[in-house]
Structure 1
């Protein structure tokens, strides 16, 4: 009887500490990888269109759109970096070393944290626009919005780098990781901190703000129906602001739905070893939110559809195209 063939190792010279190579892909696995690769390309392309639109056309240089630009940048990085890396990690061994592994997780956490921060800023922007429209133009200026966006990304970078390096530097071979695998073991304390910082606190703020926005929108709708809108709250919210609040409300709701499964294990008190932090379905649901955002803009924002047409037909290359009437 022939002896069973030994499993192929990522590092044959390190027999005792090397991971096994992933098994050959089946037809079903190849189809899944093709679909996920398409989603990755689509996510990057759609969000690049959002970035070009808001950056290029002068009419779109508003505080609200700058926040959408920040969210689009993080979504673009998901499609460009995180999705391809996740696909490759299931097909091949990790040969880039520990430092590159730590860097990958740092980038992953920075992108996720900045997305959460951008959604919180969008909620605050809509709250001020709808609930305090008289002071909104003075309070929410382009310069202040730019400062808030920069602080969001800087704080996300500091937080994520500290979080990952703190656990990575304390990680040892005793954690069960083998060579050829990119894994950072998070302690229960770290998972709890991340749950509060990146989920429970932001989600609470978002829900409270949008409940207030919804209440004001309902109040104004009733006032319009009763023909006493001029006497309500001594000011009227512009229809465009309410429409933007509804559209961005869809973005926020979809974001929360995609984020909840990722943090659900922490919410029910599971330990790290039981957590679905690395569950492929949960992780890809979070990543696919980055593809859904520009699709939502396409459905609800005529300016985005018009700007896509201008970009695709290369009219954007014409002189003074940044003055084009998009709105």
Structure 2
């Protein structure tokens, strides 16, 4: 009778002696958690797909800055897919095998590293556009941006595959029971610096410089000076607006990922149970849902392109030539 009573609390009831135990919660809490995270995953998946289609289809949107947004949207789109696996982990059970566990970890790190790398590139793009507008068209070209995006994703893939190489050779070696997805790697401060602290310092430094120039522009405008001239070239109001919008994106990113890295830095992750860790990772991933919502609020072209996509206007001949801006 005792064995029969314990079986419902196991990930694999037939493996009584080796199965992991499920995290016990109220049925209403379980249903609400699954529904909420499923909706967030669907929204993340759908909205970022709309961003990808918009920038890829409409030729007017083929600018260096939007190519960087496309890279960010691609990583956010994949995050929407990965969130489905984290939803299954909310009850403390992994049903997809040891190899898929390692693959899930690698994909998560590759995608988030590429996302942070794209944020760094966006910060550099805005810095050059605002602080050196005269040379921006020369320094920031589509070819150079495409090369930077390619290197960003390639470096993320190679680094994280090497990082999890031992886990790939022996998947499941860190698991203590069947149904667990646990990978232990020697994450030192060097890895943490290159994956988070270093990029964050670069992003903050560049946006502080952009903010100072933007404030100078605002003061000059209020003083009826007309335009701000920096190194002999006027700063366009559209560039300042883009900088403010992408600044909001950066702030939201920091807020969403800070809890995860604070726990990693303090080395308190070992004290978290599986479901709590899954919640923190989902918060990390939630940033990918917010980015396209920010675009919808601040970018009229995104709202217009959504309307054209939803109404299937993009299927018309020469729809890629439609004026969006």
SS in 2 for 1:186: coil
CA contact (8 A) 1:55 1:61 kept: yes
243-252 or 20-29: which moved more? 20-29
Using the TM superposition, give the Cα deviation of residue 270 of structure 1 relative to its aligned residue in structure 2, in angstroms. Answer: 2.6
- Candidates 304, 307, 310, aligned match of 2:305: 307
- Candidates 239, 243, 247, aligned match of 1:241: 239
Using the TM superposition, give the Cα deviation of residue 160 of structure 1 relative to its aligned residue in structure 2, in angstroms. Answer: 1.4
Cα distance in structure 2, aligned partners of 1:97 and 1:138: 50
Gap runs ≥5 in structure 1: none
Using the TM superposition, give the Cα deviation of residue 282 of structure 1 relative to its aligned residue in structure 2, in angstroms. Answer: 2.1
Cα distance in structure 2, aligned partners of 1:197 and 1:262: 16
Q: 1:287 — aligned with what?
A: 285
Using the TM superposition, give the Cα deviation of residue 283 of structure 1 relative to its aligned residue in structure 2, in angstroms. Answer: 1.6
Cα distance in structure 1, aligned partners of 2:228 and 2:26: 66
Aligned residues: 321
Gap runs ≥5 in structure 2: none
Cα distance 1:230–1:127, how it changes in 2: closer, same or farther (>3 A)?
closer
CA contact (8 A) 1:128 1:136 kept: yes
Using the TM superposition, give the Cα deviation of residue 198 of structure 1 relative to its aligned residue in structure 2, in angstroms. Answer: 1.8
Q: 1:153 — aligned with what?
A: 153
Cα distance in structure 2, aligned partners of 1:167 and 1:193: 20
Q: 2:218 — aligned with what?
A: 221
Alignment map for 1:108-257 (pairs within 5 Å) = 108-167=108-167, 169=169, 173=173, 175=174, 177-187=176-186, 190-224=187-221, 225=223, 227=225, 229=227, 233-257=231-255
Using the TM superposition, give the Cα deviation of residue 193 of structure 1 relative to its aligned residue in structure 2, in angstroms. Answer: 3.4
Cα distance in structure 1, aligned partners of 2:114 and 2:191: 13
Cα distance in structure 2, aligned partners of 1:222 and 1:231: 13
CA contact (8 A) 2:89 2:278 kept: no
CA displacement 1:178-197 (0-9 Å, x = unmatched):
1221111233xx15333212
Q: 2:258 — aligned with what?
A: 260
Q: 2:37 — aligned with what?
A: 36
Cα distance in structure 2, aligned partners of 1:284 and 1:221: 38
TM-score by length of 2: 0.90
- Candidates 267, 272, 284, aligned match of 1:270: 267
Cα distance in structure 2, aligned partners of 1:15 and 1:63: 57
CA contact (8 A) 1:19 1:180 kept: yes
CA displacement 1:125-181 (0-9 Å, x = unmatched):
0000000111110111001100000000001111111112235657875x5521221
